[in-house]
Amino acid sequence: MTIPVVSVSAPHQAPAAGASLDQWLDFIEKLHDKPIDMGLERMQTMIARMGIKFECPVVTVAGTNGKGSTCAVMDTSPHLIRFNERALLNGREVSDEALIAAFGEVESARGGMTLSYFEYTGLAVLKLFQNAHPDVVILEIGLGGRL
């Protein structure tokens, strides 16, 4: 009788200091075994852990269809070429360094919790927006933003 060998991979390690934005995005893409993991519990837990809250109005555009065109009218949308297009402050893309720092904040608060790519990157962008103290936030988010 042959017993199958099962290999267990080591947990993913966050990129080291000085890692590039591409290295962070590669890490985030491989962190969770599913690209979409419905439910709001992880986001609620992480938002609380990271102390994310806004003193300004937040315009949330959520749903399945029409988010991109609606937000394009308001000058924001998911990225087409560079990830940085997902986070605009005063009409300008945030820098790689700012995103990397925000990813580090998510990683510090994560505590081993698995997050999907969208959860991880969404938390980082929310933290960037919070730290910028804007007058208003226009937030485009998929079905997970329904509540």
Which tens digit of pLDDT belongs to each residue from 106-139? 999 999 898 988 889 999 999 999 999 999 988 8
pLDDT tens, 14-51?
899 999 999 999 998 888 877 677 778 888 999 999 99
The predicted structure's pLDDT at residue 46? 94
| Whole-model pTM over 0.75 | no
DSSP strands (E only) in the chain: 58-62, 88-89, 92-93, 137-141
Per-residue pLDDT, 75: 58
CA 116, CA 74: separation in Å to the nearest integer?
A: 27
Question: What percent of the chain is predicted at pLDDT more than 90?
Answer: 38
